[in-house]
Structure 1
Amino acid sequence: MKIFYAVQATGNGHISRAMELLPHLSNYGEVAVFLSGSNSSLDSALPVLLRSKGLSLFYNQSGALDLKQIAKNLSPVAIYKTAKNLPVEKYDLVINDFEAICALSCRIKNKASVHFGHQASFTSGQVPRPENKNKVGEFILKNFARSSLNIGLHFQAYDDFILPPVIKSEIWTAVPEAGDYICVYLPSYSDQETYKYLQQIAGQKFEVFSKEIKVVEQRGNCTFIPVHKERFNQSLIHCAGIITNAGFETPAEAMYLNKKLLVIPIGGQYEQKCNAAAMQHLGPTVVDKISPGFCKQIINWLQQPAPRYNKSFYLPAAAIVDQMMQQVTAKLLH
């Protein structure tokens, strides 16, 4: 079987998941990877066949989506041209992980495809939403990578087509410890903004992963570290807790390791507000945004007891791929 796997490269979560799934997906056939987007800070070890700038997301220093920068880098003509030239019709199975160009190409060429990933779960009305739904956000989640079949990933089995989060093998086999530092990964905030608050919490060490630097820097109680997959994994495994955005992969791995978790949804990113709504019922602490009271919120969070999350839903990556392919065979390739 020839498999076309389109991966959204805006942010690190999609790439990290693809790197974990690819060896298992390759057991089902020859996989060609299409990487779309230009705003990831993680070096990809994927065997990329095709690449495109795609639709990249940018953030301002306060963590909100920078719509002007997004619009400035958007080229509808180039996107349509890329979609038209994408060779999806030459493959037996087309999988996309929230990748709009591949989805558009399949619609142009009347080619069946699978939307497989976290965002695919939001086609279900059973998945948690914030109290105030956002119509534009709902439309984007359901239509950005619209496909013939949706197979979602989420924290819980909110619907019958939703599978567990993909946990990296290094995390899955790890023996976690509670060190004396807090791991921090807030890529939507500048180092300056993050440090402004963390430096005020005397006596607490922080390891802050940054996309702004190339070498490790020590600033007061904060060690700033360039984004690096293995280094981040080790920091997460051995930290006392983690502060991060309300994404999907990192919070899922933190809960798998039973780490104290404080999440901050990215301003203007509806999916993260949905994730935060889900996590409010699972144990993590949710903070709406970094504000003057952020230091006190961190201190209160640090004083809370260590959590014990329900991990009965989790599966190894190989089993997730097997269950995904079972759904594909039953619903698409029959």
Structure 2
Amino acid sequence: MKILYAVQATGNGHISRAMELMPFLKQYGEVDIFLSGSNSHLQADLPIKFRSNGLSLFYGNTGGLDYWRMWKELHLKRIFREAQALPVEKYDLVINDFDSITSLSCKLKKVKSVGFGHQASFQSAYTPRDDKKDIAGEIILKHYATSSAYIGLHFASYDDFIYPPVIKSEILYADPSDQGHITVYLSHYSDEVVINALQKIKDVRFEIFSKKVKSVTSFGNIKLLPISNTGFTQSMIHSKAVITGAGFETPAEALYLGKQLLCLPIRGQYEQRCNAAALKDYGVTIIDKISHNFTEQVYQWLQVSAAKQLSLSHSTYDIVQQAIELGRSLQPIKKEESLLNEEDLLALF
């Protein structure tokens, strides 16, 4: 079996998950990776055969999206050309982890695909949503990267096609401890904003993972570390608690380890607000942004007991097997079904 696995490189979670899935996928045949996106800071140890800048999210310095940069990076004709060139028709199975180019390519060439990952879970109306409705956010989650069928991942099995998170083996088999520090990863804030806020809490040590630094730097109660999969994982395993965004992979790992967890959703990103709604059910503290009273909020959070621990109902092997079997069950698209053309693509925007 030849498998094309499209991986969205907006953020580090998709890449981290792909690296964990690869040994299991390879049991079923040859796997090629299409890496789409340009703002991940994690080294992708993957068999990348195709690459694209894709459509990426970019962040400002104070917790929100950089809409101007996102608009400048949006080249629709390039996306259409790349979708035409991507040889999805040469594969027995296409697995798509929220990539719009692969989705478009499958539509153009009438190829069935399996939508896989966290965003796939939002195809279900039962998946938790933010109290404040966001029509544009719903459209993106449901139509940005459509597939023929879906395997969703989430903190709980909200629907029959939704499975637990894929937890990397270093976390699965870890022996957690509390060495007193708090692990921090807030990619949507600048280092300066995070440091200025946390260095005021002098009786707590923080290990902050940075997109900018190349080596470990320490001053006062702050240790600044370069982003690395191993470094961050070890820091979290032996942390007292974790401060991060309201993404999926890192909160899931922190919950699995039984760590105290504080999340700051990226402002303007509907998916993270929905994740925050789900995380509240686990007793996770949610703060909208770093503001003048952030120090007091952190102190209050530290008085709260650890969040509800995440349990796994399925192994990574089980989840991959479900994706493979679902892909094998898909029937070919009928020739009389209409194709998507360039005008249709432009109309989406």
TM-score after normalising by structure 2: 0.93
Any residues of structure 2 matched to 1:191-206 within 5 Å, and which? 191-206=191-206
> For residue 317 of structure 1, what is the aligned residue in structure 2?
316
Gaps spanning 5+ residues in structure 2: where?
A: 333-349
Post-superposition offset of 1:325: 2.3
Say if 2:265 is the partner of 1:260.
Answer: no
- Could you tell me how far apart the structure 2 residues matched to 1:113 and 1:331 are? 8
Post-superposition offset of 1:331: 4.9
- Could you tell me how far apart the structure 1 residues matched to 2:212 and 2:331 are? 43
> For residue 237 of structure 2, what is the aligned residue in structure 1?
237
> For residue 131 of structure 1, what is the aligned residue in structure 2?
131
- Could you tell me how far apart the structure 2 residues matched to 1:92 and 1:12 are? 27
Post-superposition offset of 1:308: 4.0
Deviations 1:144-177 (A, max 9, x none): 1011111100000000000110000000000101
Say if 2:46 is the partner of 1:38.
Answer: no
Any residues of structure 2 matched to 1:141-220 within 5 Å, and which? 141-220=141-220
**Helix, strand or coil at the partner of 1:39:** coil
Post-superposition offset of 1:290: 1.3
Say if 2:115 is the partner of 1:108.
Answer: no
* Contact 1:4–1:95 (CA under 8 A) maintained in structure 2: yes
Change (3 A) 1:81 1:74: same
- Could you tell me how far apart the structure 1 residues matched to 2:53 and 2:229 are? 22
* Contact 1:83–1:101 (CA under 8 A) maintained in structure 2: yes
Deviations 1:209-249 (A, max 9, x none): 00011111113211000000001110010000000000000
**Helix, strand or coil at the partner of 1:33:** strand
- Could you tell me how far apart the structure 1 residues matched to 2:66 and 2:285 are? 26
Letter matched to residue 266 of structure 1:
I
* Contact 2:95–2:115 (CA under 8 A) maintained in structure 1: yes
- Could you tell me how far apart the structure 2 residues matched to 1:236 and 1:331 are? 40
**Helix, strand or coil at the partner of 1:282:** coil
* Contact 1:172–1:316 (CA under 8 A) maintained in structure 2: no
**Helix, strand or coil at the partner of 2:37:** strand
> For residue 305 of structure 2, what is the aligned residue in structure 1?
305
- Could you tell me how far apart the structure 2 residues matched to 1:314 and 1:171 are? 16
* Contact 2:258–2:310 (CA under 8 A) maintained in structure 1: no
- Could you tell me how far apart the structure 1 residues matched to 2:331 and 2:315 are? 24
Post-superposition offset of 1:310: 4.5
Q: Percent sequence identity over matched residues?
A: 54
* Contact 1:6–1:34 (CA under 8 A) maintained in structure 2: yes
Q: Which runs of 4+ in 1 moved over 6 A?
A: none
* Contact 1:283–1:309 (CA under 8 A) maintained in structure 2: no
TM-score after normalising by structure 1: 0.97
- Could you tell me how far apart the structure 2 residues matched to 1:16 and 1:119 are? 15
Gaps spanning 5+ residues in structure 1: where?
A: none
Change (3 A) 1:310 1:69: closer
* Contact 1:42–1:227 (CA under 8 A) maintained in structure 2: yes
CA RMSD of aligned residues (A): 1.2
Post-superposition offset of 1:316: 2.9
- Shifted more, 249-258 versus 211-220: the winner is 211-220
Change (3 A) 1:14 1:190: same
- Could you tell me how far apart the structure 1 residues matched to 2:72 and 2:318 are? 41
Post-superposition offset of 1:306: 3.0
> For residue 221 of structure 1, what is the aligned residue in structure 2?
221
Deviations 1:166-213 (A, max 9, x none): 000000000101111000000111000001110111210000000011
* Contact 1:149–1:332 (CA under 8 A) maintained in structure 2: no
Say if 2:72 is the partner of 1:54.
Answer: no
